[in-house]
Amino acid sequence: MVNTNAQKFVLVTGGAGYIGTHTCIELLAAGYQPVVVDNLCNSREISLDRVAAISGVKIPFYSLDVGNAEALREVFSRYDFVGVLHFAGLKAVGESVTQPLRYYQNNVAATLVLAQVMQECGVERLIFSSSATVYGDPASVPISEDFPTSTTNPYGASKLMVEDILRDVCKVPNSGWKVCLLRYFNPVGAHISGLIGEDPSGTPNNLMPYVSQVAVGKLKQLGVFGDDYDTIDGTGVRDYIHVVDLAIGHVKALDKLMTEQPCCLTYNLGTGSGYSVLQMVKAFEQAAGVCVPYKVMPRRAGDIAQCYADPVMARDELGWTAELGLERMVADSWRWQSNNPKGYE
């Protein structure tokens, strides 16, 4: 069979990280050729060795900061990229509150540099990792793409700023830009091989890595942030999406941009279903066959009661729906964590 995607090089910024590694595998499976740039500020190069073990392909890797225009230009001069998947970014909400300048510099200013270099080099297809955090505290659920946006912390603001910048870039008359803003809900799970997964540095902020580390004995007990929300059991409800489904969503988005006229498209990547903290804990315990001790704590500042996507637009326009359910999410998280109790260390 003819491979119609032959020599379709794709730049993957932040490709050594959690979502980037999984997306590289799906890009390869779809016939694209990822090239990774990452400054390894929140990842390790070994993650790409694991990608090679899974896929049989050693992905070209450049250790550089996306804010370094010269270094980026050098990479752009080596490959005829069809597009860029821009994952590189800092993502800890609490940290963004104490280090706003670092977050705006890294997430906004570096993205400007990337976009400028792309424009210079005539590469104008871009997929940006946005977040459901741009919906703030939504008036209702499920959340569709036309809901109003607002943010409560510098991390969320950095995502919304980049969205605004990219929308403006696409509005320029005769712009050639084809941009897709993907708003992820709560990515969890890991590749079925158990070779790659989420490897947070320090104590995890997010629920699933915390639960996994309690299950593996690295942390003592989970703190459940509030059990008095107006939800099924009083604990917060989120739209957890398997990272492999999320990765496939990026391939579908790239496929669409390959044939699209200049545009700026926005899609939710979520399942459309919400699970509570305690439902997640129970599912994880069943998959892992271990007990996850927890203690109810006060609500975490800034948290909302529930958040889940209306995923219909991605289904209708990208032909994408999340396929992997809760059992796979927790089983795969556990496989990764139990095979790699210290992450990539």
Paired with 128 in beta bridges are 86, 181
- Alpha carbon 8 to its chain centroid, in Å, reads 22
Tell me the residue nearest to ligand WQD as measured from the CB. Answer: 236
SS3 168: helix
Query: From the list ligand NAD, ligand WQD, none, which binds 20 (C-beta under 5 to 8 Å, kind-based)?
Result: ligand NAD
Q: Residue 20's closest CA among 241, 247, 245, 182?
A: 247
Measured from the CB of residue 136, what is the shortest distance to ligand WQD in angstroms? 11
Nearer to ligand WQD, 124 or 310 (CB): 310
Q: Is 238 in the site for ligand WQD (CB under 6 A)?
A: yes
Paired with 246 in beta bridges are none
Catalytic residue among 32, 155, 240, 275: 155
Measured from the CB of residue 307, what is the shortest distance to ligand WQD in angstroms? 6
Which residues sit at the interface with ligand NAD, rule CB under 6 A? 13-14, 16-20, 38-43, 65-67, 87-91, 106, 110, 129, 131, 184, 187
Binding part of the chain for ligand WQD, among 54-62, 77-85, 105-113, 221-229 by CB under 6 A, reads 221-229
Measured from the CB of residue 69, what is the shortest distance to ligand WQD in angstroms? 26
Query: From the list ligand NAD, ligand WQD, none, which binds 277 (C-beta under 5 to 8 Å, kind-based)?
Result: ligand WQD
CA atoms in the 13 A half-sphere facing the CB of 214: 22
Nearer to ligand NAD, 177 or 184 (CB): 184
Query: From the list ligand WQD, ligand NAD, none, which binds 238 (C-beta under 5 to 8 Å, kind-based)?
Result: ligand WQD
155 is known as an active-site residue: yes
CA of 103: how far to CAs of 157, 163, 310, in Å?
Answer: 10, 15, 29
Q: Is 275 in the site for ligand WQD (CB under 6 A)?
A: no
Q: Residue 177's closest CA among 186, 167, 162?
A: 167
Q: Any idea which residue has 């897709």 for tokens?
A: 180
Site for ligand WQD in 132-191 (CB under 6 A): 133, 186
Cα(288)–Cα(299) distance, integer angstroms: 27
Query: From the list ligand WQD, ligand NAD, none, which binds 42 (C-beta under 5 to 8 Å, kind-based)?
Result: ligand NAD
Neighbours of 205 (CB within 10 A): 14
Kind of pairing between the strands at 222-225 and 240-242: unpaired
Q: Is 236 in the site for ligand WQD (CB under 6 A)?
A: yes
Paired with 276 in beta bridges are 237
Cα(211)–Cα(213) distance, integer angstroms: 5
Q: Residue 337's closest CA among 278, 287, 280, 275?
A: 287
Binding part of the chain for ligand WQD, among 56-64, 170-178, 199-207, 261-269 by CB under 6 A, reads 199-207
Residues annotated as part of the active site: 155
Binding site for ligand WQD (CB under 6 A): 91, 93, 131, 133, 186, 205-207, 210, 222-225, 236, 238, 277, 300, 303
